């Protein structure tokens, strides 16, 4: 019904504002906005992924890990969440687990370039890549996904309501 749509629209509006803040590197603001979006819709996988990405940039590995774990549980087919969690493992020095996550990201989406890049770096230098390469990819993904995926999930939820 209409109430579910209104809740989704509110979550999406907050999410879009969060992405805008993230792009401007206003990370704390983006985290607040993603958190508010998640209050409206606790299954909003992309908001977890995005908030996790902001946490990575603020070097808050534990919070980032929690968000990626939640995203992967909600939506196991998102290569990005596995890849980003792999980057957190890598930053924590857990290279074997990082490698597993990069591998899983590539199983999910064999064309997902950033995971190849991370895996190659991990093999060649034992990792510790700069997060900036990720950045553009995340931002491009988020902006591309914002509309399409969210509209799909709203449609399928409406049928269930």
Residue 123's pLDDT is 82
What count of other Cβ atoms lies within 10 Å of the Cβ of residue 94? 14
Instruction: Yes or no: say if 29 and 21 are a contact pair by the CB < 8 Å rule.
Output: yes
Q: Please give the structure tokens belonging to residue 109.
A: 């989406």
User: Which residue, among 14, 34, 66, 50, has the nearest Cα to 142 in the 3D structure?
Assistant: 50
The dihedral through the CA atoms of 106, 48, 157, 19 has a sign that is negative
Tell me the pLDDT tens digit for each residue of 72-106. 999 999 999 999 999 999 988 999 999 999 999 99
**Nearest to 149, CA basis, from 76, 45, 51:** 45
Q: What is the pLDDT of residues 39-84, one digit of tens each?
A: 999 999 999 999 999 999 999 999 999 999 999 999 999 999 999 9
Location of structure tokens 């591998």: 103
Tens-place pLDDT, residues 145-161: 444 444 444 444 444 43
């Amino acid at each position: 019904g209409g109430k579910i749509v209104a809740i989704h629209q509110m979550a999406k509006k907050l999410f879009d504002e969060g992405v805008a803040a993230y792009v401007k590197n206003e990370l704390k603001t983006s985290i607040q906005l993603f958190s508010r979006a998640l209050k409206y819709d606790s299954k909003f996988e992309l908001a977890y992924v995005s908030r996790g990405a902001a946490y990575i940039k603020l070097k808050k590995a534990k919070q980032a890990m929690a968000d990626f774990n939640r995203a992967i549980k909600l939506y196991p087919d998102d290569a990005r969440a596995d890849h980003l969690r792999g980057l957190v493992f890598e930053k924590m020095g857990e290279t074997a687990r990082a490698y597993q996550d990069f591998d899983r990201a590539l199983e999910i989406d064999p064309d997902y370039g950033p995971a190849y890049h991370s895996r190659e770096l991990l093999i060649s230098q034992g990792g510790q890549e700069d997060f900036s390469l990720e950045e553009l990819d995340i931002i491009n993904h988020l902006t591309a996904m914002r509309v399409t995926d969210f509209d799909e999930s709203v449609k399928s939820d409406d049928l269930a309501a």
